[in-house]
Structure formats: structure tokens, C-alpha cells
Amino acid sequence: MRLFWLVLPIALVLAGLIHVAAVLGLPYVAPRSAWERLSALGEPNEMVILPAAAPEHQSLPMMAPDVRYAVCRFDISEGPVRLSTQILDDFWVIAFYTPGGQNFYTISGGELKRNKIEIVISTKKEAIFEIGANILDDIDDLIVVASPKREGVVMIRAPLSGPSYALRTELALKRATCSRKLTGLDRPAR
């Protein structure tokens, strides 16, 4: 019995260490990461509308069936990238992730108080001045997002307000762009 009480704590500690190692190592042994799945859907700096989620098909894990998604794998190694999109309501969310899935910036439609948004993604906020300060003069509401990595993912999450709004949501997502073209920024509607 005394041996049992000696072995039990050692077994529990060993089981805990194995569990922690398995949980932390799982992303590295998963068959396909989200980054790899998105890489197969389109080129860098190109907006892609993901197919509607269904139980038998999801482009990414944990997608909600009542939400439409558009993603852009950005690559800012050759310079800043511009994201231009329309936000239809307060519940729309634009989130920025590193290739490893770490969220580094998020903004919602409720925070924006406007329906058209222009975002420039760069490695540091000063990089926009290298392109030309006149861009900042042309548009008051330009958002500059500093990315910690040269590659990443922008995801637009557009909840459907109901079946009758599905077409409107789809059209807004189709108008979204993600490109290296920084000139000709439109002044957002207020």
C-alpha cells in the first residue's frame, strides 16, 4: 500500500506532463493547418469568399453556418497591402491573424461608424509614409495596421441578418479587395 502512495503522485505528474505536451504539440502534427488550407484557396493579396459552411464541408474549422466569410492571405514583404471593403452592420468583424493563428488586430462595424473602410497593412506604421504622405491627406478615415509578421490573414466575418439579406451580404463581400495598389483610395462614405 505504501508503494501505491509513492507511485500515484509520480504517475499523476507524468500524466499531466504528457497531456500538456500533447496539447501544445498538436498544432505541429495536425495534417493541414488553417494557413495551408487558405493557401490552397487563392494567391496572396487576393480576397477569397469562402463557401458557406455546412456540416459536411467547412473551409476552416468551427465556421458558423449563419455567417459568411471572406479572407485575404496578405504578403507585405514587397510593401504595404490595401484592404478596401464595405461594412453593412455593427456585427461585421475584420480580424487580422499571423500565419500561426495569433490575432493581432480586430475591428467591428460598431466601432467604425461608417460603412466603407480602407485599411493599409504594413510592417510598421511608418511604412505608409514611404509610399507618400499624400495618401493620408486624401482620406481622413484610413486605418493603418502594423503587422508583426510579413505574412498573415485578414478575415471578414459577416453574420447574416436573415435569408433575405444573404444576397446583399454576398455582394458586399464580392466588392471587397485586397491588393498592393495603394493609390486611388476612395473617400469613405460617412
Report the Cα 166 to chain-centroid distance in Å.
21
Residues in the chain: 190
How confident is the prediction along the chain (190 residues), in pLDDT tens digits per residue?
788 888 888 999 999 999 999 888 876 776 667 777 788 888 899 999 998 888 777 778 778 888 999 999 999 988 889 999 988 888 999 999 998 889 999 999 888 878 888 898 988 655 555 555 545 555 557 888 989 999 999 999 999 888 888 889 999 999 999 998 765 544 433 3
Taking the model in full, what pTM does it have? 0.75
| Grid cell digits, residue 136 | 493620408
Closest Cα partner for 185 from 128, 104, 105? 128
E strand map for 55-188:
67-75, 81-86, 93-97, 103-108, 116-122, 143-146, 151-159, 177-179
Fold of 34-179: Immunoglobulin-like (2.60.40)
